[in-house]
Structure 1
């Protein structure tokens, strides 16, 4: 028989180890607070889920302070990784390699270590950890030194930024009416405060040196800063007001892009997505440059002879798969054959920074025929009726470039040619690279000859998130009385460079928050996720981006599944919240008594009362997706006198539904 005391000791040790493990897991959740963009800018620190907002950047400043290069979205080619509580961003500005490590160290705290490695001799004023101070919140009095050393220096006169303060201290404190940020230095350092540019003269910019002066090739410099954020946390109850008397456009559900790019890893993501999501629309590629590489060739004759390029065949089979599932198909061409464009085909911007190629006007009739041949062959050989056709992001030139007037002319000419050929396909107006370039669609909107051939409007959601900008797309759809489609949905067009960001809770929340705002403001027919393939995948593992662990859905996937559970055809309805940090969108069908309210909580946990529900609604189902829950259904919520009360958890995407749409493709549940 084993020694019972030894057995008890072993059991005790195992118990202690288990407790420590559980505490470690709990601490990991507690300490995951700093919100770091993949390019290195810190957006703030969350306390109880509420963001104590500020924005940092790394800045390389030229000798006369005229040339200032800062980290920012789509400015560099960074890498991003997480190691436990640490988020690590590596990027490059000119000849300087910058590595920033942000480590969560406690409630409201983060340690930031910035390392600079010079790859060449560089003459600069310095490299700085910098904080932007918006003028509407900060003044010079908002900036206080912590344990200053000596008297402040006289601000230096430079040819660039206007200095307001230069002093040496052990740290600096930044204050607004509602929050405070302390930045403590590992050793006494210089604090420089400047005024913003002439365009934003009220704004201030704080510069904290990582290194001052020029650097030699191979030189390595490092500095550490401790950030401590505090502030008011809004826990006040929220009242949501639903207005079922006012209805807008119908929402068909989520869609997906299915542009094939990764032969090894695409199939598993496509299979999983189509099996486990209710996909309402699909967008596929027309590999036009491979369909008809030569002007005088006959692509239909070649296809019938069995000489289709494999990528063309696979793209057509992808369209066929969607069509067989009764998913409407959008066909988009990214690039064209050399004969169809002006100049050497460009897949990247030239030295002038201009993307793409214009269509060759002299070959326009052949262009019309080539595209129509593809659509006709897809219909006749694969049974696919293409609903809409577009050139992808032709406002920017990815990779066909058009002016607004050329876009209108294409719709007129190609639309009429489609009709002459007996094709049902209409043109997608816009399919813009982002919402900002809305003026691109106006000439076609005002062209009576183009109007009959427009089937829907489209923009991509990479940029242009301001309410006023999004509203312009909604207004355009209302004016034309046509559906609005988000042709590519997500939040960072460069994220394929740093795919680790896809696993972050902050990315998932920001993405679904944007979709909810778009639902409320734009009232789209569908939002097509970019992509439901391995590219920007909502799944991880399975070899995607080098991750060889088992294939699994991420938080982003569950957000999509929950949004996609909205019953098809519900109409947009206004819903408002009386407190900030709540994003809301509502849809309903008064005739059938179906209603859905989608909510994203960007603040602390709080109690919510939803008002305005019709009398016939007695019960609501509630589903929650967040860092630890995967479209989990909670206890049903009673509705009394048109009101429902429930708790909205921090960081959650919450949906209230009178009923739920099941996945149309299969009954399989990925959980």
Structure 2
């Protein structure tokens, strides 16, 4: 091979490489408005500081209530009070304890000042006196003979909330009781407890239902819920199918689709009552402040809506726990802005519709909001920018909001319009992008 031929060969190979790369960095997203999925009821949050501190409220919680205006919240009820002897708050004294009163005050404020309409109360632990082996810190089993007293404590709290604070508790759960990180219930024990409590609450004029399952992670939810549903006598006491999505980053999408399928089969709303991806993130200093944390949060949020078809997402948390902003409110972390993509654009009343992406690293979800505007959210997980050809929504006025590592919140008005039912958009590397089709 002479030098001229060699140079020509190199040029051709280089050209092929460039062309191949160019084609590799273009994706196709198709939207099918006629194929309807779930309707979003709420993008809400967890307000569980009463379980982790001496107070029910904090500055971050106040700020998220003001900014996000959630319709649905999950609030922790401490039943095993720190630095207190159970004898001092047993029976009627329980609802008079300062921290319990703080929880009641916070529930009232959430409703009256911020418009919360749906309340879930969860309990993480109960006093040692109710536990079969009180030396255990995990896998704690409530003695069956203690059920009545536990139920009475809950009933007293629910009635006080209703009658004195004007707040009805819609749902209740023992937190992650399948896993037993504190309290553990077998399916059989769950049935026995629900049967007793459900009847008690019904007789007391309470509307409170149990979250079905409220499991620690996606895998195992269907199995746990199926065993609970084996007793038809408790069905009337069970509310939405609920799970937490910890330890779910690497599981296949069909595990989430099983959740959606179960919900449809039993005509149950699907809730993710703790939306997050790493239950051990609190052990890593400042992990929640990083952009990587935000992108991983964006991806798990996407998978919850798209594949599990959740109607209610409760973010973990909207207080100073896995915080999305600094305690003094001066700095908003990247995860705050990722959260706003959902709160601002895909909240209550958004009808999710089917969409597909040709590239597994370009995550697409679309919906039609209550105001008629159509919304498309695209998450580019790639470390390179990419062009995306979009079809399915028509508009002559498209606005964009993007989050990148260098710009947390970039708003662009009237950036594009469709032509012959299509348009092409550029996505920056590792970005969360929401496009609103206005007309």
Give the Cα separation in 1 of the matches to 2:144 and 2:56: 39
Q: How does 1:224-623 map to 2 (within 5 A)?
A: 235-260=24-49, 261-262=52-53, 267-290=58-81, 293-294=86-87, 297-299=90-92, 303=95, 308-324=96-112, 325-327=114-116, 328-344=118-134, 346-347=136-137, 355-438=138-221, 439-465=223-249, 466=251, 467-540=253-326, 542=328, 551-565=330-344, 566-588=346-368, 593-603=372-382, 604-613=384-393, 617-623=395-401
Tell me: higher relative CO, structure 1 or 2? Use CA pairs within 8 A at least 6 residues apart. 2
| 1:10-69 per-position Cα deviation (integer Å, ceiling 9, x unaligned) | xxxxxxxxxxxxxxxxxxxxxxxxxxxxxxxxxxxxxxxxxxxxxxxxxxxxxxxxxxxx
Q: Shift of residue 475 of structure 1?
A: 1.3
Change (3 A) 1:656 1:446: farther
Contact 1:255 1:528 in 2 (8 A): yes
Give the Cα separation in 2 of the matches to 1:575 and 1:606: 18
Q: Shift of residue 511 of structure 1?
A: 0.9
What is the TM-score with the length of structure 1 in the denominator? 0.57
Give the Cα separation in 2 of the matches to 1:593 and 1:641: 21
Which structure 1 residue ranges, 4+ long, deviate > 6 Å from structure 2? 231-234
Give the Cα separation in 2 of the matches to 1:297 and 1:312: 13
Q: Shift of residue 598 of structure 1?
A: 1.5
Contact 2:56 2:106 in 1 (8 A): no
Aligned to 1:647: 426
* Count of residue pairs brought into register by the alignment: 408
| 1:471-508 per-position Cα deviation (integer Å, ceiling 9, x unaligned) | 22111111121211111111111111113211221111
Contact 1:407 1:444 in 2 (8 A): yes
Change (3 A) 1:620 1:280: farther
Q: Shift of residue 293 of structure 1?
A: 3.1
Q: How does 1:79-228 map to 2 (within 5 A)?
A: none
Change (3 A) 1:265 1:554: farther
Aligned to 1:141: none
3-state SS of 1:533 partner: coil
More helix by share: 2
3-state SS of 1:574 partner: strand
Contact 2:56 2:99 in 1 (8 A): no
Aligned to 2:13: none
Give the Cα separation in 1 of the matches to 2:71 and 2:419: 34
Q: How does 1:40-79 map to 2 (within 5 A)?
A: none
| Structure showing greater Rg | 1
Aligned to 1:635: 413
Structure 1 segments unaligned to the other structure (5+ residues): 1-230, 348-354, 543-549, 661-671
3-state SS of 1:241 partner: strand
Give the Cα separation in 2 of the matches to 1:232 and 1:492: 34
Give the Cα separation in 1 of the matches to 2:58 and 2:424: 43
Change (3 A) 1:293 1:232: farther
What is the TM-score with the length of structure 2 in the denominator? 0.86
Q: Shift of residue 233 of structure 1?
A: 8.6
More strand by share: 1
Contact 1:269 1:539 in 2 (8 A): yes
Give the Cα separation in 2 of the matches to 1:234 and 1:440: 46
Change (3 A) 1:234 1:497: farther
Give the Cα separation in 1 of the matches to 2:94 and 2:347: 43
Aligned to 1:6: none
Q: Shift of residue 533 of structure 1?
A: 1.1
Aligned to 2:15: none
Contact 1:253 1:568 in 2 (8 A): yes
Give the Cα separation in 1 of the matches to 2:103 and 2:323: 18
Change (3 A) 1:392 1:638: same
Change (3 A) 1:634 1:496: same
Change (3 A) 1:641 1:371: same
Contact 1:625 1:652 in 2 (8 A): yes
Contact 1:257 1:530 in 2 (8 A): yes
